[in-house]
Amino acid sequence: MPSLLEIYNLSFRHPDGTQALNDISFQLREGEELAIFGPNGSGKTTLLLHMNGILRGEGTIRVEGLEISSRNIGEIRRRVGLVFQNADEQLFMPTVLEDVMFGPLNLGFTAAIAEEKARHALAQVGIGDELLNRPPFHLSAGEKRRVALAGVLVMEPKLLLLDEPTTSLDPPGQRALLELLRRVPQPKLIATHDVHFASSLSERALFLEKGRLVADGPLDEIVNRFDWRLRS
């Protein structure tokens, strides 16, 4: 099966000199789900931000064989959808419907087609008509997460990146999000501390420490090796 995502020798240093990523290489194949574990500050979010070109370090990243570069960054961002840890960072239009229409309108679709696509994406994540004209900041945390995801899915990406997707969600909200993500067909990379959530979606995991990829393998083996599970 061909590789959907290829990362070779990726390194990144913050402007203050901190080495955030150090010589990371791995591949993700079509149809695969991948969890990314590691302590706070290990580089999980920084790694995700490289996969759709928000950050640019040294090394090579390819999505479906297309190398990330300034020339093709628009196409890369259509192929790779990122849902941020804080959904409020993605919700900025006056209404839910307008927020999800924003992407298609930017691609040049007419308002009518953009609205049709937005309504379909919102229905896909379980957002009903009663919320379409509501300001996003009036939504619950779970509803915000769904609208943010709809804003990514409406672009029909090939790959989904999710940064700490269970943050601010209560247990029912986490279960609802898990069921939703199980129905979404795109391969996913999930940066999380939540082993139960990750293991419900993925069988493979990476483990980062201080910007280095120190393990890549079956999720249960990674969890046991690094004692990455809550104890009763």
142-188 pLDDT per residue, tens: 899 999 999 999 999 999 999 999 988 889 889 999 999 999 999 99
Burial class (CB in 10 A: 0-12, 13-18, 19+), 137: exposed
- For the chain, the domains span 3-225
Q: With cut-offs at 50, 70 and 90, classify the pLDDT of residue 58.
A: very high
Pairing of strands 159-163, 19-29: unpaired
Measured distance CA(40)–CA(43) in Å, rounded: 8
Confidence of residue 88 (pLDDT cuts 50, 70, 90): confident
- For the beta carbon of residue 196, count every other beta carbon within 10 angstroms: 12
Give residue-wise pLDDT tens across range 112-152.
Answer: 999 999 999 999 998 999 999 999 999 998 899 999 999 99
Rounded to whole angstroms, the Cα distance separating 159 from 37 reads 19
Q: Could you give the C-alpha distances from 212 to 8, 22, 46, 204, 217, in angstroms and in order? A: 13, 5, 12, 17, 15
Superfamily the domain 3-225 falls into: P-loop containing nucleotide triphosphate hydrolases (3.40.50.300)
Count the alpha carbons within 13 Å of 197 in the hemisphere toward its beta carbon.
Answer: 28
Structure tokens at 175: 């279960």
DSSP assignment of 36-47 equals: EE--TTSSHHHH
Residue 98 has pLDDT above 90, yes or no: yes
Between CA 148 and CA 90 the distance in angstroms is 6
Exposure string of 207-224, with b = 16+ CB inside 10 Å and e = fewer, is bbbebbbebeeebeebbe
